[in-house]
């Protein structure tokens, strides 16, 4: 699979980029970022925001920031309970999401030979999964429009040393030697529906952040060796300066404004009295959409983001 990358992108960022295995049964594949905007509208408090750009594009999305952007949600124009086709995304062929750019690759040079490369993956729908609860039966939690996941690979003098795998509100960090690889490239397994990234196949309980449980007890992700996605084959590439908070595309003409949008990439969490909604044990069937790449703590000092959790560097992928 030939990779066409813009001039200036460090070759090691491509050579050691993750390869993603999607789940074989997941109907929600990587999604074209631009197409996602055509199916959404900017809402605040469940009402359309006036005065913003129309139509929304990758080149003007940041204009919503001046309209209380942090509280704006890119809300589906369709009733998501009808499972519209655009939520399904694109299944990779020969590793590539043809006619769809669903990946953003961002380099952050932190000086003294240290560089972090972020590999961002976009999906238009997150299916949270089903849980069988005694007496109540099977319940579904954590669905939302829009889904940004990522890996981060840390390099020292061009050599990979560690990697981060994002999973819901947290994730896992590993030494480079611990990871399963395809050639020189680490493998990331995308969970069925939720797209959380894991270093192994199987069941992954994420009920308690930062605690790996050997047997699932409540909220479980599933990974397997489904279709292969190589995000480097069809991606936009940027560098990011943490001091100025500026994204610079490696190639002229690459859209950039969408990376500056501070709002949410999906619907606002539906109210408890919405007929589509229920909330049990603090978990909602339909939760709010996520914030975009700039919110992933690109300037982090540790391998893990600064999210209040301990940064545990795992020397093995064994539970």
**288-to-41, 98, 148, 267 alpha-carbon distances in Å:** 15, 29, 13, 6
What pLDDT, on the 0 to 100 scale, is given for residue 207?
65
Q: Which tens digit of pLDDT belongs to each residue from 56-86?
A: 999 999 999 999 999 999 999 999 999 999 9
Predicted TM-score of the model (pTM): 0.95
- Confidence class for position 149, pLDDT limits 50, 70, 90: very high
Write the CB contacts of 297 (distance below 8 Å, at least 6 apart in sequence): 305, 306, 307
DSSP β-bridge partners for residue 75: 41
Distance from C-alpha of 260 to C-alpha of 186, rounded to nearest angstrom: 29
> Is 169 a residue whose pLDDT tops 80?
yes
Residues in the chain: 319
Closest CA to 235 of 118, 109, 127: 118
Q: Quick one: tokens of 236?
A: 């936009």
Q: Burial-class residue 2 by CB neighbours within 10 Å (0-12, 13-18, 19+).
A: exposed
- Confidence class for position 1, pLDDT limits 50, 70, 90: very low
Find tokens 């976009």 and name the residue: 122
What pLDDT, on the 0 to 100 scale, is given for residue 77?
98
> What would the mean pLDDT of 152-160 be, rounded to a whole number?
98
What pLDDT, on the 0 to 100 scale, is given for residue 212?
56
Averaged pLDDT of the chain: 94
What pLDDT, on the 0 to 100 scale, is given for residue 3?
53
What pLDDT, on the 0 to 100 scale, is given for residue 318?
86
Residue 34 contacts residue 58 (beta carbons within 8 Å): yes
> What would the mean pLDDT of 22-42 be, rounded to a whole number?
98
DSSP designation for 290: P
State how beta strands 73-76 and 220-223 pair: unpaired
Find tokens 């797209």 and name the residue: 195
CA atoms within 13 A on the CB side of 73: 21
Q: Which tens digit of pLDDT belongs to each residue from 258-313?
A: 999 999 999 999 999 999 999 998 889 999 999 999 899 999 999 999 988 899 99
- Confidence class for position 232, pLDDT limits 50, 70, 90: very high
């Amino acid at each position: 699979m030939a990779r066409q990358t813009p001039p200036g992108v460090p070759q090691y960022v491509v050579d050691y980029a993750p390869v993603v295995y999607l789940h074989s049964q997941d109907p929600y594949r990587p999604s074209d970022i631009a197409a996602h905007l055509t199916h959404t509208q900017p809402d605040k408090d469940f009402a359309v925001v006036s005065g913003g750009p129309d139509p929304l594009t990758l080149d003007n999305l940041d204009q919503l920031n001046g309209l209380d952007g942090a509280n704006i949600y890119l809300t589906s124009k369709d009733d998501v309970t009808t499972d519209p086709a655009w939520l399904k995304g694109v299944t990779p062929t020969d590793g590539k999401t043809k006619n769809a750019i669903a990946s953003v690759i961002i380099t952050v040079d932190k000086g003294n030979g240290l560089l972090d490369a972020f590999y961002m993956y976009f999906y238009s729908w997150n299916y949270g999964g089903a849980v069988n609860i005694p007496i109540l039966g099977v319940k579904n939690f954590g669905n939302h429009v829009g889904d940004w996941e990522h890996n981060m690979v840390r390099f020292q003098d061009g050599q990979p040393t560690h990697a981060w795998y994002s999973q819901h509100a947290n994730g896992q960090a590993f030494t480079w030697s611990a990871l399963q690889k395809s050639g020189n490239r680490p493998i990331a397994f995308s969970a069925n529906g939720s797209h959380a990234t894991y270093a192994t196949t199987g069941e992954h309980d994420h009920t308690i952040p930062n605690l790996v449980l050997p047997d699932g007890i409540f909220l479980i992700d599933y990974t397997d060796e489904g279709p292969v996605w190589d995000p480097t084959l069809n991606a936009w590439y940027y560098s990011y300066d943490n001091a100025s908070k500026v994204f610079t595309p490696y190639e002229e003409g690459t859209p950039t404004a969408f990376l500056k949008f501070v709002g949410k990439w999906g619907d606002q969490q539906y109210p408890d009295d919405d007929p589509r909604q229920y909330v049990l044990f603090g978990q909602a069937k339909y939760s709010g959409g996520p914030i975009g790449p700039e919110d992933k703590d690109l300037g982090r000092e540790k391998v893990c983001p600064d999210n209040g959790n301990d940064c545990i560097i795992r020397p093995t992928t064994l539970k």
